[in-house]
């Protein structure tokens, strides 16, 4: 049976895996990327496409900043811009509490190098004339924007392949084991792949692999509720998102240069990782319409032409799993990005490549350590 | 008439007046908006992604090629909308400020 | 107004064309009053599309040899209208969790069902030709709708191009109505029709009508050319269509001046609701397309979902009426009604004849799959998004997009307002050719709601 060998095996060909493969090749490491379907088909290809830093858990900003720098350099790095547009990004709110929170966040984010401008009242209406009358405040991040999730991960995959990475699609991994100093991944067809280092970037399926190494994590799986309008004249530049403690109000949208407006939020939908299907519930689409009347009333004139969902993995503390394994040397993780991983993708790739290649990284990853769930896992294994 | 469609009969119907790009257009009661427009003008909209004008395609509400803007900024699918008195249609793209309140 | 009766299954029919009407009639005959949803303002579907109420043309003028059938269908519906829950101007935009999601005049509601019988009909099947994005290019069906329901011709001088029985029928109707037909350009070869004769003879009356159409066109001086290959629809951005260039059967370039083209290659079923209802599809070799799977009565792979008429496979109006009845019987049987074996046998025998004829049509007027490989790179394949054949080939060859949805994700083909209705089949052929794989391997575009564009102004109806 066929046997392949490399410095690093990556299991999971979303943007995390594809970007890591690319950056590892840049560092001269040989890489095999294993993907059950096609690169970028799952969460990486179905998400909203936000490339934003504001609103993130503050300790995640160094990673997000690192990633943002790479977004701006995509054409020279991977010969593809993934339609990244530095359009700006605004978080808006309907209540004073959130407006106050914007101010606090702006100060703290400033310490991480993220500059945010706050707008209210007439100034806000002049700057963002499409906002509905209920909107109280807007926090604007000039250097954030959006990109095309359908294109980004595949572009990284092709760039990695051009640098010599072995990209193996349509290959489902049945088992992963470590024997001595080497990991062995075996496909359902019996092919084996061997390397001293293994990275799990299997998204919503990441826990299935981490548990094979004694590190299960409580991952929950949900489907984003997405919709897109017909194309119309390009006129709304920033990405717009609502900040609210009530999930049904958390609507976001972005207009692409071709004129379509991509819409997401307000609810999470059903996702079935076993059969790789996820659905948009009709009531969620209608809910998004209701919220759009509030957020940007003029968009009510448009028609949506398609909805879609995807399979996203969520951790209970809304932070991903990232970093080295707590149990097994040579084993690394980057999965479970809680629906906010797209912007982080290039940065995760660069960071994980650095970590795997050198054993350390300048970007702090402690908040994402898999060991934070070890106690939970141990408890779960105790007899009742 | 600079229209694209040719009336072959059924012309003894009540007149309905609409406006297309600020010009008066006379239609007949029972016309679809698409037919009403194309009996007087030769297109209903501009293509978004090409330089050509468009004039509908399937006439049965399937191709979605005949969505037009009203002067008030509403969307109408011309082939499945019955023409009504006073409709005002623009055949050009919405302006960049279309979303502003 | 029909109301759901206690203890009766709630049955929803989508489509008030031949299949839907006969389905409703059959259900009523068994004492069940269905809800009938139709997107149009009037019943009748497409082939028996009704003219507006203030038009005066008689049935014979509108429907020719089919006048009696059309009138019977319409009067049948008039009779049962009051006994059903009829919802015209209502779009079924989604189906989920045994509810049909509809919208009417901007108000959305969800109708629970015990049985859903989908009779959404068909649209024209199109193969792109260079220049088909110019104003003045219409589907063949469109040219017939223009005449039948609006008494207009699509242009001063019309070329009818493509293949299928409609080609000759509509061209002939145009001539009779006083429109100017520049030419009828048929891609099928006369030999194909000869070979299909045995199957076509399954419906000798229809075959006779077809032959009569061709001779009436020739008598009227219309150029009827067989075995052609379309080359280009000539036109300008501002003025639209100005002519058609084609290769005749001897391979010589020919040109016809016109200001309108009616283009089409028979029909393709509207399968979006079946797809959303999670019906299993299978690849149909003969017609080179994916069709929802049904048993001989119209049961889909999903319990409680039945499919009938041109919306599942193209049988034509007569076949659709039959299929509507059969689907109703299937639902009735599944709800415990006893259906006479002789009734079913008789209907099934008729349907077998229809199916033989259908296969004869497919053989005589085949989908011109081979044209796809010969399309120039600068031909537009996706009219909605303005994507060229060359761009589609590029993502297939250079970016490894050998599957329909992957190619859509990379090229945008099928991402527009029509969601692949008019480019999907051609795109699959182009991808298959560029990738060097059988077209079945390319798969099909995954259907997503809404079935048609849905306004963000839509409000949920409060119960």
Task: For residue B98, give the nearest of A132, A298, A305 by CB distance.
Answer: A298
> Looking at A104-118, A253-267, A330-344, C363-377, which range is the least confident one?
C363-377
Measure in Å the smallest separation between the Cα of A351 and chain C Cα atoms.
27
- Which candidate from A41, A282, A302 shows the least CB-CB separation from C456? A302
> What's the distance, Cα to Cα, between the start and end of chain C in Å?
19
Q: Where is average pLDDT lowest: A323-327, B91-95, C91-95, C389-393?
A: B91-95
Q: Which of C53, C55, C150 best probes binding to B when mutated, by most B CB atoms within 10 angstroms?
A: C150
| C275-281 average pLDDT score | 98
User: Is pLDDT above 70 for C1?
Assistant: no
- Does the residue B97 lie in any domain? no
At A107, which CATH number? 3.30.9.10
Which residue of chain C has the CA closest to B14?
A: C54
Task: Identify the DSSP state of C5.
Answer: P
**Are A237 and A285 in a shared domain?**
yes
The DSSP annotation for B11-80 comes to: --S-EEEEEETTEEEEEETT-BHHHHHHTTSS-SEE-SSSS-EE--SSSSSSS-TTEEEETTS-EEEGGG
B49 lies within 8 A of chain C by CB: yes
Q: What angle do CA B34, B37, B39 make, to 5 degrees?
A: 105
Kindly state whether A258 is in contact with chain B, defined as any CB-CB distance less than 8 angstroms: yes
**Higher-pLDDT residue of A289, A381:** A289
Residues A99 and A161 in one domain: no
Pick the residue of A83, A264, A305 with the most C CBs within 10 A to test the interface with C by mutation: A305
Q: What is the pLDDT of residue A214?
A: 95
Q: What is the pLDDT of residue A103?
A: 98
Which residues, in sequence order, are bridge partners of residue A92? A138, A242
Provide the residue range defining the domain that includes B67.
15-90
Is B63 inside any structural domain?
yes
* pLDDT per position as a tens digit, A18-47: 999 999 999 999 999 999 999 999 999 999
**Interface test mutation site (partner C, options A286, A290, A300, A308, max chain C beta carbons within 10 A):** A286
What pLDDT is recorded for position C194?
A: 62
Q: How far is residue A327's CA from residue A370's CA, in Å, rounded to a whole number?
A: 10
Structural domain that includes position A359:
3-46+150-218+318-381
Q: B27-36, B59-68, C241-250, C352-361: lowest mean pLDDT where?
A: C352-361
CB contact under 8 A, A307 and C96: no
Question: Do C128 and C380 touch, CB atoms closer than 8 A?
Answer: yes
Q: Are residues A114 and A203 in the same domain?
A: no
- Of A45, A282, A300, nearest to C457 by CB-CB distance is A300
Q: Does C145 touch chain A (CB under 8 A)?
A: no
Quick check: is B4 in a domain?
Answer: no
Give B99's contacts in chain A (Cβ within 8 Å): 129-130, 235-236, 296, 298-299
Report the DSSP beta bridge partners of residue A8: A31, A197
For residues C206 and A224, which has the higher predicted lDDT (pLDDT)? A224
Taking residues A364-374, what's their average pLDDT? 97
Q: What tens digit of pLDDT does each residue of A332-360 get?
A: 999 999 999 999 999 999 999 999 999 99
Q: What is the residue-averaged pLDDT of chain A?
A: 96
* Interface contact A308-C448, CB threshold 8 A: yes
Lowest mean pLDDT among A140-154, B28-42, C162-176, C191-205: C191-205
> How many CB atoms lie under 10 A from the CB of residue A232?
23
Residues A138 and A230 in one domain: yes
Residue C2 pLDDT level (bands cut at 50, 70, 90): very low
Q: Which residues contact A113 (CB under 8 A, 6 or more apart)?
A: A61, A65
CB contact under 8 A, A298 and B95: no
- From the list A235, A258, A303, the residue facing B99 with the nearest CB is A235
- pLDDT score at C344: 84
Residue C76 φ/ψ, nearest 5 degrees: -55, -45
Query: Is any Cβ of chain C less than 8 angstroms from the Cβ of B55?
Result: yes
Residue A78 resides in a domain: no
Q: How far is CA B66 from the centre of its chain?
A: 8
Neighbours of chain B (3+ CB pairs under 8 A): A, C
| CATH architecture of residue range(s) C11-123+268-337 | 3-Layer(bba) Sandwich (3.50)
C194: Cβ contacts below 8 Å, ≥ 6 apart = none
**Distance (Å, rounded) from C-alpha A99 to C-alpha A93?**
6
Average pLDDT over residues C55-70: 94
* Domain C126-265 class, CATH top level: alpha beta
CA-to-CA dists, residue A191 to A166, A169, A185, C17, C366, angstroms: 14, 13, 8, 54, 43
Report the number of distinct structural domains present in chain B.
1
Q: Do C139 and B39 touch (CB under 8 A)?
A: no
Mean local confidence (pLDDT), C424-443: 98
In degrees, rounded to 5, the angle at the alpha carbon of residue A82 between the alpha carbons of residues A76 and A83 is 105
Cβ contact B98–A299 (<8 Å): no
Q: Report CB contact under 8 Å: C147, B58.
A: no
Please state whether beta strands C289-292 and C107-112 pair in parallel, antiparallel, or not at all (unpaired).
Answer: unpaired
**Hey, where are the domains in chain C?**
11-123+268-337, 126-265, 371-442
Q: Do strands C223-225 and B45-46 pair parallel, antiparallel, or not at all (unpaired)? A: unpaired
Q: Is the pLDDT of residue A377 over 50?
A: yes
Residue C228: what pLDDT?
Answer: 96
**Nearest chain A residue to B72, by CA:** A301
- Which of C41, C47, C125, C135 to mutate against chain B (most B CBs within 10 Å)? C135
Assigned CATH topology for domain C371-442: Arc Repressor Mutant, subunit A (1.10.10)
Say yes or no for a CB contact (<8 Å) between C454 and A292. Answer: no
User: Which of B93, B99, B100 to probe the A interface (max A CBs under 10 A)?
Assistant: B99
What value of ipTM does the predicted structure carry? 0.98
Give the rounded distance of the alpha carbon of A266 from its chain centre.
18
Q: Give Cα separations from C171 to C122, C177, C179, C315 (angstroms).
A: 20, 10, 9, 21
Q: For residue A11, tell me if it sits in a domain.
A: yes
**Domain C-terminal end among A314, A332, A363:** A314
CB atoms within 10 A of CB C230: 25
Among the partner residues A130, A231, A301, nearest to B101 by beta-carbon distance: A130
Which residues is C368 bridged to in the sheet? none
Q: What are phi and psi of C371, to 5 degrees?
A: -60, -30
Sign of the alpha-carbon dihedral angle for C88, C93, C95, C100: negative
Across the interface, which of A236, A258, A303 has its CB nearest the CB of B75? A303
- Tell me the pLDDT band of C201, cut-offs 50, 70 and 90: low
Indicate whether C4 pLDDT > 60. no
Section A269-283 average pLDDT: 97
Task: Look up the CATH number of the domain holding residue A8.
Answer: 3.50.50.60
Of A299, A310, A321, A308, the residue nearest A210 (C-alpha)? A321
| A133 and A9 assigned to the same domain | no
Q: Spell out which residues of chain B touch residue C123, defining contact as CB-CB under 8 Å.
A: 58, 60, 62-63
8 A C-beta contact, residue A348 and residue A322: yes
Tokens of A101: 């929170």
- Co-location of A161 and A252 in the same domain: no
**A378 Cβ neighbours under 8 A, 6+ residues apart:** none
Among candidate residues A297, A314, A331, the one where a domain is terminated: A314
Over residues C325-339, the mean pLDDT reads 95
Closest C-alpha to A233, from A280, A168, A187, A301: A301
B to C CB pairs, distance under 8 Å: 150
Residue C326 · residue C23 · CB < 8 Å: no
> Which pair of structure tokens corresponds to residue C244?
């058609």
- C448 and A158 within 8 Å at the Cβ level: the answer is no
Is A31 contained in some domain? Answer: yes
| C28–chain A Cβ distance below 8 A for any pair | no
Element (H, E) at A333: strand A331-335
- Count of CB atoms situated within 10 Å of the CB of C11: 26
Contacts of residue B98 in chain A, CB cutoff 8 Å? 232-233, 235, 298, 301
Q: By percentage, how much of chain A surpasses pLDDT 70?
A: 97
Where is pLDDT greater, at C275 or A375?
A: C275
Say what the pLDDT of residue C362 is: 83
**CATH number of the domain that B36 lies in?**
3.10.20.440
B100·A297 Cβ contact <8 A: no
Which residue among B5, B9, B49 sits closest to C146, beta carbon to beta carbon?
B5
Instruction: Give the pLDDT confidence of C231-256 residue by residue, as tens digits.
Output: 999 999 999 999 999 999 999 999 99
Distance between CA atoms of residues A105 and A149, nearest Å: 27
* Confidence at residue B34, expressed as pLDDT on a 0 to 100 scale: 98
Q: Tell me whether the CATH fold assigned to C11-123+268-337 matches the one assigned to C126-265.
A: yes
Helix locations, C277-415, DSSP H = 316-334, 341-364, 371-374, 389-398, 404-411
Q: Quote the minimal CA–CA distance from C384 to chain A in Å.
A: 10
Mutate to test the interface with A, among B71, B72, B78, B98 (most CBs of A within 10 A): B98
Q: Is C383 on the interface with B (CB under 8 A)?
A: yes
- The Cα C46–Cα B60 span in angstroms is 8
* Overall average pLDDT of the A113-124 stretch: 98
At CB < 8 Å, which residues of chain B contact A? 48-49, 64, 67, 73-75, 93-101
CB of A100 less than 8 A from some CB of B: no
**Does residue A71 fall inside a structural domain?**
no
B45 to chain C, any CB pair closer than 8 A? The answer is no
pLDDT score, position C145: 97
Do A237 and A127 share a structural domain? yes
Which of B48, B94, B100 is facing A129, going by the closest CB pair? Answer: B100
High-pLDDT (> 70) share of chain C, %: 94
Task: Give the one of B6, B30, B53 whose C-beta lies nearest to C155's C-beta.
Answer: B6
| C453 with A230: Cβ contact below 8 A | yes
Looking at the structure, do residues A225 and A289 belong to the same domain, yes or no?
yes
Q: Is the pLDDT of residue A259 over 60?
A: yes
Put simply, whether A62 touches B (Cβ < 8 Å) is: no
**Summary mean pLDDT of chain C:** 93
A135/A230 same-domain check: yes
Nearest by CB: C94 against A282, A302, A308:
A282
Select from A269, A293, A314 the last residue of a domain: A314
* Edge-to-edge strands, sheet with C229-236: C229-236, C240-247, C253-257
Residues A305, A160 share a domain: no
Instruction: Please say whether the dihedral angle defined by the alpha carbons of residues B2, B7, B12 and B15, taken in this order, is positive or negative.
Output: negative
Query: Is residue A373 within 8 Å of residue A218, measured between CB atoms?
Result: yes
Q: Does C112 touch chain A (CB under 8 A)?
A: no
* Domain-located, residue B64: yes
Choosing among C278, C280, C456, which should be mutated to test the A contact, i.e. which has the most A CBs within 10 A?
C456
Number of domains in chain A: 2
- Bigger pLDDT: C352 or A130? A130
Residue with tokens 């490491």: A29
Q: Does A306 touch chain B (CB under 8 A)?
A: no
């Amino acid at each position: 049976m066929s046997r392949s060998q490399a410095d690093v095996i990556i299991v999971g060909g979303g943007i995390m895996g594809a970007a890591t493969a690319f950056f590892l090749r840049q560092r001269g490491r040989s890489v095999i990327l294993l993907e059950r379907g096609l690169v970028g088909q799952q969460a990486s290809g179905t998400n909203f496409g936000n490339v934003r830093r504001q609103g993130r858990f503050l300790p995640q900003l160094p990673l997000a900043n690192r990633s943002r720098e790479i977004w701006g350099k995509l054409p020279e790095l991977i010969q593809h811009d993934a339609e990244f547009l530095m359009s700006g990004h605004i978080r808006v709110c309907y209540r004073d509490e959130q407006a106050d929170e914007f101010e606090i966040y702006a100060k703290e984010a400033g310490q991480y190098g993220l500059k945010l401008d706050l707008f209210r009242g007439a100034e806000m209406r002049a700057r963002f004339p499409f906002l509905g009358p209920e909107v109280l405040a807007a926090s604007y991040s000039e250097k954030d924007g959006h990109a095309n999730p359908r294109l980004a991960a595949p572009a990284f995959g092709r760039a990695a392949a051009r640098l010599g990475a072995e990209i193996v699609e349509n290959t489902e991994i049945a088992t992963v084991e470590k024997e001595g100093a080497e990991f062995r991944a075996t496909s359902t067809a019996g092919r084996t792949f061997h390397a001293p280092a293994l990275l799990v970037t299997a998204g919503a399926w990441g826990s299935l692999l981490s548990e094979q190494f004694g590190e299960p994590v409580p991952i929950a799986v949900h489907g984003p509720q997405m919709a897109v309008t017909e194309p119309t004249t390009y006129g709304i530049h920033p990405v717009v998102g609502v900040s609210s403690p009530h999930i049904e109000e958390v609507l976001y949208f972005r207009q692409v240069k071709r004129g379509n407006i991509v819409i997401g939020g307000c609810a999470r939908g059903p996702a079935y990782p076993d059969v790789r299907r996820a659905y948009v519930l009709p009531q969620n689409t209608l809910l998004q319409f209701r919220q759009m009347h509030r957020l940007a009333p003029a968009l009510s004139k448009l028609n949506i032409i398609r909805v879609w969902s995807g399979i996203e993995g969520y951790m209970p503390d809304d932070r991903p799993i990232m970093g080295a394994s707590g149990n097994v040397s040579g084993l690394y993780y980057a999965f479970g990005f809680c629906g906010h991983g797209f912007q982080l993708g290039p940065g995760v790739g660069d960071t994980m490549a650095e970590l795997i290649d050198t054993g350390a990284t300048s970007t702090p990853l402690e908040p994402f350590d898999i060991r934070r769930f070890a106690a939970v896992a141990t408890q779960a294994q105790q007899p009742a | 008439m600079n229209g694209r469609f040719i009336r072959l009969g059924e012309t003894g119907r009540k007149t309905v007046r609409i406006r297309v790009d600020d010009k008066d257009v006379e239609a007949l009661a029972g016309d679809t908006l698409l037919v009403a427009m194309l009996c007087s003008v030769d297109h209903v909209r501009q293509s978004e992604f090409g330089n050509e004008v468009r004039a509908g395609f399937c006439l049965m509400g399937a191709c979605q090629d005949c969505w037009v803007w009203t002067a008030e900024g509403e969307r109408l699918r011309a082939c499945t909308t019955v023409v009504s008195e006073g409709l005002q249609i623009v055949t050009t793209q919405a302006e960049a400020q279309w979303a502003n309140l | 107004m029909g109301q759901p009766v206690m203890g009766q299954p709630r049955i929803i029919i989508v489509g008030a064309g031949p299949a839907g009407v006969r389905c409703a009639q059959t259900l009523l005959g068994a004492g069940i009053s269905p809800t009938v949803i139709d997107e149009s303002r009037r019943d009748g579907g497409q082939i028996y599309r009704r003219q507006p109420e203030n038009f005066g043309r008689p049935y014979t003028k509108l429907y020719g040899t089919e006048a009696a059938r059309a009138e019977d269908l319409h009067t049948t519906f008039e009779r049962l209208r009051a006994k059903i829950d009829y919802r015209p101007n209502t779009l079924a935009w989604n189906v989920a969790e045994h509810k049909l999601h509809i919208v009417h005049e901007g108000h959305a509601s969800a109708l629970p069902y015990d049985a859903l019988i989908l009779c959404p009909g068909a649209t024209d099947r199109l193969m792109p030709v260079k220049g088909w994005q110019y104003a003045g290019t219409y589907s063949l069906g469109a040219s017939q709708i223009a005449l039948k329901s609006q008494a207009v011709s699509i242009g001063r001088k019309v070329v009818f191009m493509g293949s299928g029985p409609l080609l000759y029928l509509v061209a002939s109707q145009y001539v009779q109505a006083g429109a100017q037909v520049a030419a009828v350009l048929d891609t099928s070869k006369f030999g194909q029709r000869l070979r299909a004769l045995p199957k076509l003879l399954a419906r000798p009356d229809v075959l006779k009508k077809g032959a009569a159409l061709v001779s009436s066109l020739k008598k009227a001086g219309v150029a009827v050319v067989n075995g052609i290959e379309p080359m280009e629809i000539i036109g300008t951005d501002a003025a639209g269509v100005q002519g058609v260039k084609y290769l005749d059967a001897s391979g010589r370039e020919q040109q016809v001046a016109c200001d309108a083209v009616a283009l089409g290659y028979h029909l393709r079923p509207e399968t979006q609701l079946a797809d959303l209802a999670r019906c299993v599809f299978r690849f149909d070799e003969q017609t080179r397309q994916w069709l929802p799977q049904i048993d001989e009565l119209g049961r889909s792979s999903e319990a409680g979902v039945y499919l009938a008429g041109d919306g599942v496979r193209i049988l034509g109006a007569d076949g659709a009426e039959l299929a509507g009845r059969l689907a109703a019987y299937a639902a009735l049987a599944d709800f415990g009604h006893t259906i006479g074996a002789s009734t079913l046998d008789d209907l099934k025998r008729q349907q077998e004849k229809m199916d033989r004829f259908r296969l004869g049509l497919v053989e005589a007027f085949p989908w011109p799959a081979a044209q796809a490989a010969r399309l120039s790179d600068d031909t537009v394949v996706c009219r909605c998004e303005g994507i060229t054949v060359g761009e589609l080939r590029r993502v297939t060859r250079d970016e490894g997009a050998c599957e329909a949805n992957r190619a859509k994700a990379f090229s945008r083909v099928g991402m527009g307002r029509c969601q692949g209705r008019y480019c999907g089949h051609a795109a699959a052929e182009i991808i298959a050719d560029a990738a060097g794989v059988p077209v079945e391997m390319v798969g099909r575009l995954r259907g997503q709601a809404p079935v048609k564009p849905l306004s963000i102004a839509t409000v949920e109806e409060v119960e």
